[in-house]
Amino acid sequence: MDLMEKLCRASGVSGFEGGASSLMMAELKKCCDTVLEDNIGNIIAVKGSGKPVIKLAAHVDEVGFVVKHITKEGYLYFVKVGGIDDRILLDQRVIVKGRGDVVGIIGAKPPHMLSGSERKKVVKHDEMFIDIGAKNKKDAEKRVSVGDPIVFEPNYGVLNGKIFYGKAVDDRIGCYALIEIMKKIPKNLGCTVYAVATTQEEVGLKGARVAAYRINPDFAIAVDTTLAGDMPGVTEKESDLKIGKGPAITILEASGRGVISHPKLRSLMEKTAKAKKIPVQIDVLEGGMTDAAIIYMTREGIPSTVVSIPTRYIHGSSGVFHMDDVENSVKLVLETIKALAKKK
C-alpha cells in the first residue's frame, strides 16, 4: 500500500483525527528536523533554520459523522461533522470507530412506503439511521457508544491511467503533498519551513488558527482541494477548473469572505510556475474556504495564498483527482519556497 492510499484509508473525522495524524507524524519524522503534536492535535514539523519562516498547511481531518442516539432496536442516529450533502448518504457503507471498526449501512424508510409528495423530497440526514446488524440497544452498546466518530468506508483505487479515487481526498492529497515537499527541501536552503497537518479545518479552521499564532510565519501557503468543474451539469462559467490541467492558484475564496491571496506572494507563485513550466489554473471561489482564510488574519497579518488541487465529488465518500496535479502542486510549492528563500 503506497503512502497516498494509506492516507486516504486512514480515519480522521474532525476532532477525532488520531489515525490520520499518527500517520502524518510518522512520515514527517522521516524527513524533518523536529515534529510535535500541539494542544489541539496539529502535527507541526520543522525543517531548516533562518529567515524567512514559511508555513505550509494541509488539513488532516475529514468530514464524517458522530453517533447521536441508539434506539431500543439497536439502530444509530447520527449528526454530520462538516458539510456533507444529504443526497449522497442513503445506502452508503460506513465505519463506526467504536470498540473496533464496526461496519454499518445508512438506511431510511423504503420509498415503497412513502407518499407521492414524500418521494419528491430529499431525505434529510436526521431521518436516516445506521444499521449495524444489532439485535437491540444492549447488543449495539457492546460495540458502539454515543459520541463515537463515523467515517465513510475506506476506499482507494485507479479509475483510468493517472485518475484516482479515494475516501477523504479532501485533504489527504494535500497532506501527501506536504510530506513530499518536506522530503525535497534542501537542508541548506537557509530558511525555516514548517509543515502543519491541521485539525478541525472542516468545522471552522480551528487548528490553523492555533498553529499560525504559535509559529507566526513570514509567509503561508495552504495546500488543499478545490471544486473541479469538468462534469455534467456544471458550466464553464460556474467552474472552468479541470483535473489533469495543473494545480490552481487561488485569487480569492467565498467571494472574498475567505482568503484574498496576498498579491506579491501570488504574483511570485505565478511567475515561478511560468519560469519552471509548471501548468497551473486560476481559482476564483464563490463558496468554500481553506486554512489560509484564518492564517492570513493571525497576529499582525500573514501574507498567504493557496495551492489547490482540482477534485470531483469533494465531501463525498469518494473524491476523484489526477495524480499529475498532485505532483505539480509539490513542484509549485517547492519552487515558490526556493524563490522566497532567495528574496531575503
Task: Please give the positions annotated as active site.
Answer: 201
Cell numbers placing 195: 509543515
CB neighbourhood size of 211 (10 A) = 27
DSSP secondary-structure letter at 154? P
CB neighbourhood size of 251 (10 A) = 17
Residues 6+ away with beta carbon under 8 Å from 248: 226, 241, 280, 281, 282, 283, 307, 308, 309, 310
By the 8 A CB rule, do 146 and 299 touch? no
Q: How far apart are CA 247 and CA 332, in angstroms?
A: 8
Residues 6+ away with beta carbon under 8 Å from 96: 67, 76, 102, 103, 104, 130, 132, 143, 144, 148, 149, 150
Burial of 183 (0-12, 13-18, 19+ CB in 10 A): middle
Helix axes 169-184, 323-342, angle to 10 degrees: 50
Q: Which single residue is written with the C-alpha cell 511560468?
A: 274
By the 8 A CB rule, do 23 and 30 touch? no
By the 8 A CB rule, do 55 and 194 touch? yes
